[in-house]
Amino acid sequence: MSQREQWGSRVGFILAAVGSAIGLGNIWRFPYMAYENGGGAFLIPYIFAMLTAGIPFMILEFGLGHKFRGSAPKTFAAINPKWEWLGWMQVFVAAVIAVYYVAVIGWSISYTGFAVTQAWGDAPKDFFFGQYLGLSSSPFDMGGMQTTVLLSVVLAWAITWVCLVSGVRAGIERAGKVLMPTLFILLLVMIARVVTLDGAMNGLNWLFKPDFSALTNYKVWVAAYGQIFFTLSIGFAIMIAYSSYLPKKADINNNACMTVFINCGFSMSAGVMIFAVLGYMAAQQGVGVKEVVSSGVGLAFITLPTAINLMPMPALFGTLFFLALTTAGISSHISIVEACISAFMDKLGWERKRAASILCGGGLVISLVFCTGAGLYILDIVDHFINNFGIMGAAVIEIFFITWLCNLEVVREHVNRYSEFYVGAVWSACLRYLTVPMLVFLLISNFVGDLK
């Protein structure tokens, strides 16, 4: 049995964890969530959720991975052999995300190239759905630029594979050290570029103008908690796997706080960038900001290209934006696939090369579904179920199991061992009495929302 791999440095670990946390969601989900749920006032429930659920849960996951030195299935099996299935359930959720997340990264790679000449022309919407994806309801219809889509998705898988076969230190850690600083610089350059555009301040005003009446709406609080779980990649095997490679003496509490703060700081900065662009776009088109706000795929591949067309030096901002989106996506994708790979390595004793090649190869084959004419349609459905039920479901079972059925104090003692500051009874209480009920409530409200 060879020794478990280890991170080379503390910074390396934090950048890898941050690389997982910062993803497409920080750029295309957070700004819209904030705008929709009270603008500046959303920061209150958001920060509250970050402090009471995000940080405690992150500390818990880092603690579990570090204590049991294993992927999620191995960790839960070590606690109680009857609970190994929970780990596999989380790995399954991660695997499903891995195969469709990569499709969006692929599109983003294509669009980095398109941005050079604004290949999307005057009608980015028709271009995206029609010419690029060749959307139809039939998976066998190959009407769009399927070769381009396919090559981009293959490239995205190839990058992930290269990082993963190279190992924790030479692959994942090095990728984080290159990708994350690059991403931060890209974002800063974009912010500097867009805040001086006409109308940018008006856009920011829409994002940050506080509507305090939103605070009395329970949906706003639900949205804040939902965003925190999603954005931090907690509750589905990833952070457990990453922290299983920490050296023995690691400051769990501090690492967890750093990861959370950097992720949330990035989200707010991305919000500034996106809303400055939206404000400019609205001014150019002579409409209100309200008419141009959007999120997700629509924001990235339709609204932003439209805005880019209106900008001075469109090629510059366009390539920066899609490069940033690709960077944020790839570093998250690496972590999702690593959650799966580490589980197979632990369970079957596979070598890293073998696990990475088999899983990336198999993943690529399944991802091809998203390169067909029905790709976006299937992606929407899968994404909806995974976001609303998969992630939350796996998270709530994990946290209920650990905090109600196991001795949480053992974990608390463990995370405090080499940490500069300690977590006390408040930590346990937040997890037990606040996070668990909140997650249950989230699941129910998503379920009821679906029934309507």
Residues in contact with ligand PHE by the rule CB under 6 A? 20-21, 23-26, 97, 230-231, 233, 332, 335-336
User: By CB under 5 A, is residue 231 in contact with Na ion?
Assistant: yes
To ligand PHE, the closest distance from the beta carbon of 26 in angstroms equals: 5
d(C-alpha 319, C-alpha 332), whole Å: 20
Q: Considering beta carbons, is residue 176 or 373 the nearer one to ligand PHE?
A: 176
Size of the site for Na ion (CB under 5 A): 4
To Na ion, the closest distance from the beta carbon of 231 in angstroms equals: 3
Kindly state the DSSP code that residue 15 receives in the 8-state scheme.
Answer: H
Segment interacting with Na ion (CB under 5 A) among 22-30, 89-97, 172-180, 217-225: 22-30
* Cα distance between the two ends of the chain: 53
Rounded-to-10 torsion of CA 276, 282, 283, 285: 140
- Main-chain dihedrals φ then ψ at residue 48, nearest 5 degrees: -60, -45
User: CA triplet 385, 23, 85: central angle to 5 degrees?
Assistant: 45
User: By CB under 5 A, is residue 20 in contact with Na ion?
Assistant: no
Q: Considering beta carbons, is residue 359 or 408 the nearer one to ligand PHE?
A: 359
435 binds, among Na ion, ligand PHE, none (CB under 5 to 8 A by kind): none
To ligand PHE, the closest distance from the beta carbon of 30 in angstroms equals: 8
Segment interacting with Na ion (CB under 5 A) among 71-79, 173-181, 225-233, 339-347: 225-233
Q: Which helix (H) or strand (E) holds 364?
A: helix 352-367
To ligand PHE, the closest distance from the beta carbon of 212 in angstroms equals: 27
User: By CB under 5 A, is residue 21 in contact with Na ion?
Assistant: yes
Q: Are the C-beta atoms of residues 326 and 108 closer than 8 Å to each other? A: yes
Map residues 23-52 to x or -, x wherever contact with Na ion holds by CB under 5 A. Answer: --xx--------------------------
367 binds, among ligand PHE, Na ion, none (CB under 5 to 8 A by kind): none
d(C-alpha 443, C-alpha 451), whole Å: 13
Q: Considering beta carbons, is residue 25 or 203 the nearer one to ligand PHE?
A: 25
- Orientation angle between helical segments 146-165 and 352-367, nearest 10 degrees: 160
d(C-alpha 309, C-alpha 53), whole Å: 41
Kindly state the DSSP code that residue 404 receives in the 8-state scheme.
Answer: I
d(C-alpha 370, C-alpha 380), whole Å: 10
To ligand PHE, the closest distance from the beta carbon of 99 in angstroms equals: 12
Q: Considering beta carbons, is residue 28 or 301 the nearer one to Na ion?
A: 28
Q: Tokens 């976006």 identify what position?
A: 376
Closest C-alpha among 178, 180, 186, 191 to residue 324: 186
Q: Considering beta carbons, is residue 302 or 336 the nearer one to ligand PHE?
A: 336
Segment interacting with Na ion (CB under 5 A) among 100-108, 112-120, 173-181, 227-235: 227-235
- Which residues contact Na ion by CB under 5 A? 21, 25-26, 231
